[in-house]
């Protein structure tokens, strides 16, 4: 870690060169990954990330630099390189730093370093065998184990002095099913901001079988239909719909530049009255939870949409300046290599009244998307897409044959108004979200929802 | 600590503990400028590096990395390589390359980056945004107007006496603008690669981005069905990149590729030839050796529609009993060695894109696809992608099309190619540098209304 004098001197240098706000971010992260293929450990990799980012704001202009060399000399040199033309007046007294006492939303019981690798190898093998032996059509299984402990330190010219520790682990199973020269995949990857005790809480046999179950269903599936139709999206990773269709466009990085399809709509109706959506950075042991955000602001629960009315954006300090609004504790970054910006943490649609069966029963002909894959969005237009990993046709109110290869496309503004049923079975699942400040862990979630009309991109003309 | 001292320390400390080892260093200097609303919105500079050590300990190959180069970290990565090696089961692991005359020639790039000062580069970018916003009154805002330049240096040493280094300098400008006509909002973008910032063609970049945004205003779906389509060069090169993992020996061996067992078979139309050229003068992934120190090699992957070869890193090559094809590359020093091509290109044809469009009675010209990371499956070969473009009627572009998907299987696309144009385009250098011409494909599924 850095001492107070060094940090004070670096911040002073930053302000004397024309900034009105300066920040030092240090990251020291230990990671370890293991991968098992064909029953054997094929890759075993561990290491240490270490670096420092310095950010200077001047009004709404931002400059950022990073390096792996944390000596005072190197940091002062970097700061001088960042800004040479302007002169400012403020200075920082290193005695003014106040240690910020943070909450602890993700307590850790068993540190990864206290568990020998043999046990972790056993986890990989347990899930592998469960997945491989699920069915004869399962031709290949890959299981991976990931752990990381990210220690960060943030100080800024407002006197903030804060640290956070983020302990995370994730376990992924990827199963391939083969039949008549065709291959289909199934994937399941639970994760948490937790220590090794996570593996007492999840069932790895079930995790392995789940990935293989999807692969098996898909190898026997027919092509998905094409055209517009009603769709029921199941709970859990289905929440990627809201994440892409709306969440990104609520990020201040787009709203503040007036390049968001949802800009200028606070207090207005933007969704069906059935929709309440929340982003909560404080969820206990949540995959997207942090105690403070990557600017040192405490995270919190933000209600984004309440009964269809837009209540809040997701805001970081810099974009807050542009919008004249306070940070919502939503500044995030992958590492010291990225300046922070507004991002999501754990985002979900709140549960409604309907049972999932009621939602399906009401559809004559449509699609049931049980598991979604990833997706993306253009926040300026609101156009989004995401893939259906496991889908079924709905005929006369009943789930029938499985279908593969569907992509759902639509527009965020339109789709939120077309949600005409919200289930009572909220569930969150884990994902990685990529954007301008890098790839970060997020939870997405929702109960089952029904969309009255959306474009399904398959390969058959009749549903 | 500098890399030379650090690597000496690691070799000295590791000598008696690790049988064979290789140390890999990647350093990167980077500068990024982002303009918004006639101001420097973001300015980023960095000087960073990392070291990866791999070595044979116990029965397998262990990996470790660090971004901090000091004595403590040297001891840490040695200890981690030993532990990780002991837990690795794969005995037929990667092999280390011996020094070779093929890799001896250094590829030092011309240092054009510093011919302009930071202030001059900022001026260019301010000018670019200004010019773009003056072209059409429906375009009043930029979404992204950014400049980024890199200076990358690779260094590697192994216990067989290999000692290699090279460097590469390049940059790109990316402009995305927002068009609005009161009813509809659309975006248009251009990416421009350069080795010397003096080559940046402001007028061309601005014009292309604005044209794309404005011409797509009012786009709407077409009726679902099968269409003859033209895939624009940039779209074909992105789809090619998406399916590239299927061409690697690694995935074929694991049974995770739809191209398994297809060497010598026709997987595409006779007019399709795909080559890898690591020495291409204009390529941005040009190099003499891969990240394992093996010489890179020119090869034909698809010849007149027939699949000729896969790409191998040393681990996959050892399993096959052959020598690495020089395609062992890492995403970064933090990642194990994967497989990717250097510069890959589909050989162009002779017909112009315009004439190819004119040959279609009813069809769709696809100018952009989105969602490649989720809507494309390189294991099965299937894809379903959000797309936009133009409806073609009687050889003419009739109206913009949006809100559709194109779906199919990669082999089906390659087999249905009926013409290849002369307009080869190289995309953003990512997992290789991919060049492709526009192609005409018969009967592809489109989902619309």
* Domain boundary assignment for chain B: 3-215, 225-447
Residue B91 banded pLDDT, cuts 50, 70, 90: low
Per the prediction, chain B carries an average pLDDT of: 93
Lowest mean pLDDT among A73-77, A107-111, A319-323, B149-153: A73-77
What is the structure's pLDDT at A210?
A: 98
Cβ-defined contact of B44 to A183 (cutoff 8 Å)? no
Stretch B214-241: mean pLDDT:
96
Stretch A288-300: mean pLDDT:
97
Residues 6+ apart with CB under 8 A from A430: A170, A189, A190, A191, A192, A287, A441, A442, A443
Residue B110 has pLDDT above 60, yes or no: no
Stretch B278-294: mean pLDDT:
94
* Contact present, B92 and A74 (Cβ < 8 Å): no
Stretch A25-51: mean pLDDT:
93
What is the structure's pLDDT at B40?
A: 87
* Contact present, A450 and B400 (Cβ < 8 Å): no
What is the structure's pLDDT at A85?
A: 42
CB contacts, 8 Å: A227 with chain B: 224, 447-449
Closest CA–CA distance from residue B221 to any residue of chain A (Å): 10
Domain ranges for chain A: 112-149+166-220, 227-457
CB contacts, 8 Å: A44 with chain B: 60, 62-63, 83-85, 87-88
What is the structure's pLDDT at B109?
A: 53
Which phi and psi (to 5°) does residue A92 adopt? -110, 130
Give the mutation candidate from B60, B245, B402, B405 for the A interface (greatest A CB count, under 10 A). Answer: B405
Residue A80 banded pLDDT, cuts 50, 70, 90: confident
* Contact present, B79 and A30 (Cβ < 8 Å): no
B379: left (phi over 0), alpha (psi -120 to 50) or beta: alpha
| Torsion angle of the four alpha carbons B122, B123, B128, B129, in this order, in degrees rounded to the nearest 10 | 70
Q: Tokens in use for B14?
A: 């590791």
Beta bridge partners of residue B194, listed in sequence order: B171
pLDDT for B389-436, tens place per residue? 999 999 999 999 999 999 999 999 999 999 999 999 999 999 999 999
Cβ-defined contact of B407 to A458 (cutoff 8 Å)? yes
- Find which of A57-71, A82-96, B64-78 is predicted with most confidence, using mean pLDDT: B64-78
What is the structure's pLDDT at A95?
A: 65
Q: What percent of chain A has pLDDT over 70?
A: 97
CB contacts, 8 Å: A409 with chain B: 386, 403-405
Lowest mean pLDDT among A126-130, A207-211, B155-159: B155-159
What is the structure's pLDDT at A87?
A: 43
Instruction: CATH number for A112-149+166-220: choose from 3.30.2290.10, 3.40.5.50, 3.40.50.1100, 1.10.287.180.
Output: 3.30.2290.10
What is the structure's pLDDT at A88?
A: 47
Per the prediction, chain A carries an average pLDDT of: 93
Instruction: For A406, name the nearest residue in chain B, comparing CA atoms only.
Output: B384
Please name the member of B89, B371, B402 whose beta carbon is closest to the beta carbon of A376.
B371
Q: Measured at the alpha carbon of residue B376, what is the angle toward residues A144 and B347, in degrees to the nearest 5? A: 115
What is the structure's pLDDT at B104?
A: 58
Residue A374 has pLDDT above 90, yes or no: no
pLDDT for A387-434, tens place per residue? 999 999 999 999 999 999 899 999 998 999 999 999 999 999 999 999
Residue B378 has pLDDT above 80, yes or no: yes
What is the structure's pLDDT at A325?
A: 96
Task: Name which of A257, A198, A232, A234 is nearest A359 in CA terms.
Answer: A232
Residue A195 banded pLDDT, cuts 50, 70, 90: very high
Stretch B262-284: mean pLDDT:
96
Cβ-defined contact of A47 to B379 (cutoff 8 Å)? no
What is the structure's pLDDT at A415?
A: 94
Cβ-defined contact of B371 to A378 (cutoff 8 Å)? no
CB contacts, 8 Å: A143 with chain B: none
Cβ-defined contact of B88 to A407 (cutoff 8 Å)? no
CB contacts, 8 Å: B339 with chain A: none
Question: Three-class SS of residue A312?
Answer: coil
* Contact present, A221 and A403 (Cβ < 8 Å): yes
Cβ-defined contact of B68 to A50 (cutoff 8 Å)? yes
Residue A368 has pLDDT above 80, yes or no: yes
Residue A91 has pLDDT above 80, yes or no: no
Domain B3-215 indexed as CATH 3.40.50.720:
no
| Torsion angle of the four alpha carbons A244, A248, A249, A250, in this order, in degrees rounded to the nearest 10 | 120
Residue B195 has pLDDT above 70, yes or no: yes
What is the structure's pLDDT at B60?
A: 84
Cβ-defined contact of B64 to A62 (cutoff 8 Å)? no
Stretch A309-338: mean pLDDT:
97
**How many Å apart are CA B406 and CA B388, to the nearest integer?**
9
Stretch A299-304: mean pLDDT:
98
Task: Name which of B337, B329, B295, B335 is nearest B430 in CA terms.
Answer: B329
What is the structure's pLDDT at B285?
A: 95
Residue B283 has pLDDT above 60, yes or no: yes
Stretch A318-330: mean pLDDT:
96
* Contact present, B57 and B19 (Cβ < 8 Å): yes
What is the structure's pLDDT at A86?
A: 44
Residue A460 has pLDDT above 80, yes or no: no
Instruction: For A383, name the nearest residue in chain B, comparing CA atoms only.
Output: B403
Lowest mean pLDDT among A200-209, B19-28, B53-62, B238-247: B53-62
Cβ-defined contact of B255 to A226 (cutoff 8 Å)? no
**H or E segment at B354?**
helix B353-358
Which DSSP symbol is given to B161?
S
Interface confidence (ipTM) of the complex: 0.89
What is the structure's pLDDT at A151?
A: 96
Residue A277 has pLDDT above 50, yes or no: yes
Cβ-defined contact of A381 to B380 (cutoff 8 Å)? no
């Amino acid at each position: 870690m850095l001492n107070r004098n060094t940090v004070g001197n670096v911040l002073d240098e930053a302000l004397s060169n024309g900034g009105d706000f300066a920040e030092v971010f240090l990251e020291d992260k230990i990671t370890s990954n293991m991968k098992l293929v064909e029953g054997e450990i094929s890759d075993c990799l561990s290491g240490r990330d270490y670096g420092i980012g310095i950010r200077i704001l001047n009004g709404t202009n931002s400059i950022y630099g990073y390096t792996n060399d944390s000596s005072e000399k190197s940091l002062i040199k970097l700061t001088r390189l960042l800004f040479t033309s302007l002169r400012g007046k403020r200075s920082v007294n290193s005695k003014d730093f106040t240690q910020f006492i943070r909450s602890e939303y993700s307590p850790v019981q068993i540190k990864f370093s206290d568990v020998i690798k043999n046990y972790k190898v056993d986890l990989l093998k347990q899930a592998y065998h469960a997945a491989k032996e699920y069915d004869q059509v399962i031709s290949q299984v890959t299981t991976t184990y990931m752990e990381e402990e990210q220690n960060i330190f943030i100080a800024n010219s407002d006197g903030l002095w804060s640290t956070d520790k983020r302990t995370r682990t994730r376990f992924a199973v990827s199963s391939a099913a083969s039949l008549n020269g065709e291959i289909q995949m199934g994937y399941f990857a639970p994760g948490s901001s937790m220590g090794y005790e996570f593996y007492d809480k999840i069932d790895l046999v079930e995790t392995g079988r789940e990935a293989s179950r999807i692969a098996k269903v898909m190898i026997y599936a027919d092509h998905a239909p094409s055209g517009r139709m009603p769709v029921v999206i199941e709970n859990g990773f289905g929440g990627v719909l809201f994440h892409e269709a709306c969440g990104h466009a609520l990020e201040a990085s787009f709203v503040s530049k007036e390049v968001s399809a949802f800009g200028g709509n606070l207090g207005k109706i933007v969704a069906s009255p059935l929709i309440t959506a929340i982003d909560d950075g404080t969820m206990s042991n949540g995959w997207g939870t942090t105690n403070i955000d990557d600017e040192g602001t405490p995270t919190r629960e933000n209600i984004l949409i309440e009964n269809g009315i837009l209540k809040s954006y997701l805001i970081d300090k810099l974009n807050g300046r542009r919008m004249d609004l306070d940070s919502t504790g939503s500044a995030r970054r992958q590492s010291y290599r990225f300046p922070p910006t507004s991002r999501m943490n754990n985002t979900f649609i709140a549960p409604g009244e309907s049972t999932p069966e009621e939602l399906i029963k009401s559809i004559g002909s449509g699609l049931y998307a049980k598991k979604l894959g990833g997706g993306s969005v253009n926040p300026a237009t609101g156009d989004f897409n995401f893939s259906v990993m496991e889908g079924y046709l709905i005929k006369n109110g009943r789930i029938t044959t499985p279908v593969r290869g569907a992509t759902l496309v639509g527009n965020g503004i339109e789709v939120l108004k077309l949600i005409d049923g919200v289930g009572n079975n909220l569930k969150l699942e884990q994902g990685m979200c990529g954007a301008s400040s890098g790839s970060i862990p997020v939870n997405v979630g929702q109960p089952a929802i029904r969309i009255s009309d959306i474009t399904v991109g398959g390969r058959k003309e009749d549903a | 600590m500098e890399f030379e001292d650090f690597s000496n320390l690691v070799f000295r400390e590791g000598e008696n503990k690790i049988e064979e080892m290789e140390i890999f260093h990647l350093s990167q200097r980077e500068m990024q400028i982002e303009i918004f609303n006639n101001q420097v919105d973001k300015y980023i500079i960095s000087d960073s590096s990392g070291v990866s050590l791999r070595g044979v300990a116990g029965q397998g190959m262990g990996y470790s990395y660090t971004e901090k180069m000091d004595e403590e970290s040297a001891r840490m990565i040695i200890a981690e390589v030993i532990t990780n090696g002991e837990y690795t089961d794969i005995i037929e692991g990667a092999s280390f390359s011996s020094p070779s005359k093929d890799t001896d020639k250094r590829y030092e790039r011309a240092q054009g980056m510093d011919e302009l000062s930071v202030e001059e580069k900022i001026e260019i970018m301010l000018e670019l945004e200004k010019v773009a916003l003056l072209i059409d009154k429906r375009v009043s805002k930029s979404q992204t107007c950014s400049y980024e330049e890199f200076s990358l240096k690779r260094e590697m040493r192994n216990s067989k006496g290999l000692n290699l280094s090279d460097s590469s300098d390049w940059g790109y400008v990316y402009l995305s603008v927002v068009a609005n006509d009161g009813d509809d909002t659309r975006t248009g973008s251009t990416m421009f690669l350069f080795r010397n910032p003096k080559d940046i063609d402001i007028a061309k970049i601005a014009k292309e981005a604005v044209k794309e945004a404005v011409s797509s205003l009012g786009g709407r779906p077409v009726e679902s069905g099968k269409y003859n389509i033209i895939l624009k060069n940039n779209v074909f090169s992105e789809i090619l990149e998406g399916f590239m993992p299927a061409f690697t020996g690694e995935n074929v061996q694991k049974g995770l590729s739809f191209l398994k067992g297809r060497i010598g078979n026709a997987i595409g139309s006779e007019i399709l030839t795909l080559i890898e050229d690591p020495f291409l003068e204009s390529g941005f992934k040009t190099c003499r050796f891969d990240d394992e120190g093996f010489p890179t090699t020119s090869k034909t992957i698809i010849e007149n529609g027939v699949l000729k070869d896969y790409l191998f890193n040393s681990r996959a090559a050892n399993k096959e009993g052959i020598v690495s094809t020089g395609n062992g590359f890492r995403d970064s020093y933090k990642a194990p060695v994967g497989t990717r091509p250097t510069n890959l290109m589909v050989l162009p044809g002779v017909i112009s894109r315009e004439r190819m469009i004119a040959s279609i009675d009813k069809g769709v010209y696809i100018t952009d696809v989105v969602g490649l990371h989720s809507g494309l499956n390189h294991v099965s070969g299937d894809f379903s992608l959000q797309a936009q473009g133009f409806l073609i009627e009687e050889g003419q572009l009739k109206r913009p099309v949006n809100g559709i998907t194109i779906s199919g299987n990669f082999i089906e696309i390659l087999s249905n190619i009926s013409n290849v144009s002369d307009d080869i385009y190289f995309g953003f250098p990512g997992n290789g540098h991919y060049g492709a011409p526009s192609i005409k494909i018969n009967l592809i599924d489109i989902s619309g209304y």
